[in-house]
Structure 1
C-alpha cells in the first residue's frame, strides 16, 4: 500500500491491466471501514481507498458554509490522474460515500464502469413531505444547538440503536466527537444536493444496490426511489442495519466481490 495524498491510499494489482475500484466510506467513519474488503480485492484489483474530507488522514473541509458533495471530488480525480489510470473504475460506496459515488457517475466526473452501493443516503431525491424526508430532517434538526457529544450520540444511535454510542470505548467516542462538525456538513450536502431522480436515470452503468433489512425508514425510502430509477440495477437485501458494511462484512463483502467479478 502507498499513499497517493493525505488520506488516499492505493494498493496496486499484480497486472497493470487489472480492474480498478474506488472505495468511499460513510459519514463518521474512514477508509479503514473497508479493511476486510481491501484484503479480498488487493492483488487482483487496483484498489484506491479514500478518506473523505474531515475523516481519517484527509484534510478538513476548507469551507463550512454551504458545503456540497462536489467539494469531495477534486482529490479523487487528482489521485486517479496521478496514477495515469486509463480503464474505467468501479465505485464502491456506503451511505454518504454511496451518495458521492452516484454523483460522480451521474455527472461523469470519472469514467465509471459500475457501482456497488450500500444504502446511498441521497436524501435530496425524497419529496419534502415524505415520511423518509421528514424523519431525516428531524434527525438533522435535533442536532442543532447541541454540543459535539450530544450531536454525535444522536447521530450514532439513530443509525445503530439507542445506547450504542455510550457503549463504545472512550477512545472511539472521542474520535467520533471530533468529527461531529463534518457530520453536520455531510447532512447539509446530502439534503441540498441539486441532482434529481431524472439525473440519476442517466446512470446507465450496472449498479448493485444493497440495503439492510433492519435499516431506517429514511435510508429505505432512498433505496426504493433509486431502485425505481436506475436503468441497470440489481437489488439485494442483507440481514443487517444501515451499518452493514462494518457490522456484517461477512454477509456484505461477498455480494460486492461477486458483483465486481461479474461486472469486470
Structure 2
C-alpha cells in the first residue's frame, strides 16, 4: 500500500468512526460530498487544501503525514533535500525553458507533464507532491519571494491541450497579482542566451543560497558556494533577456487568448 492509499483509507476511517456521511463531513470542511467521495475512491488526490481543512475541523494530523510520507515517497531521493530548502526559503528563483515552473503548475497541467513518464498511483502521488509546492509559494504566513523566468516557448507548447493551457496560463497571470510572485518572459525573438543550457532553480534560506540542477530522470542539489555562484550568475544572465513585468504579463494574456 502506498502512502497516498494509506492516507485515503485513514480519511475514510476517521469519517466513519465519527459516524458522518460524506455529505455531512464535507459540509463541515466546506467541500462538496462529490469531492469527498472522489477523494475516498482515489479518483482525486487528497491535496493540502483538503487536508488542512480536515485537520482544522477535526484536530487531526493529516498534513504532517502528507508532508513526511506522501511527498517524500513520490519525490526522487536526489530531489528531497531541495524540497526541504524550498519549504524553508525566504526567496525562490526559477528559470524554465520548456514548461511552466513546477511551483506554479495547475493540477491538469502537472498531470499532463507527469503522465509522460508515470501512471496510476505513482502519477497521482507525484501530482499531489507537485501541487504541494504551489502551497509553499501561496501560503498566507510568510510566503517566500518568488521570481520565475519562463521562455516564451513554455507559453506555446500545447501541454495537455488547449483547455489545459488556457487554465494554466490564466492561473499564471493571476499568480502575478500576488505581492510575492513575479513572472518574466524571455520573448521568442531572442536568439542564443544562457537559458538554452536548461532549467535553473535557486533557494535562499537561513542566510544561504542553494541551487538545483535538474535533468531528465536525474539531478542534484548544489550546495558548494562556488557552484551556487555560477548558477546565480547564469540566472542573472537569463534575466537580462527577459521582458519587464508589464510586457511579460501582456505576452501571457495574449497566449491565454490564443488557447481559447
The TM-score range, normalised by the shorter chain, is 0.3 to 0.5
User: TM-score if structure 2 supplies the norm length?
Assistant: 0.32
Larger radius of gyration: 2
More helix by share: 2
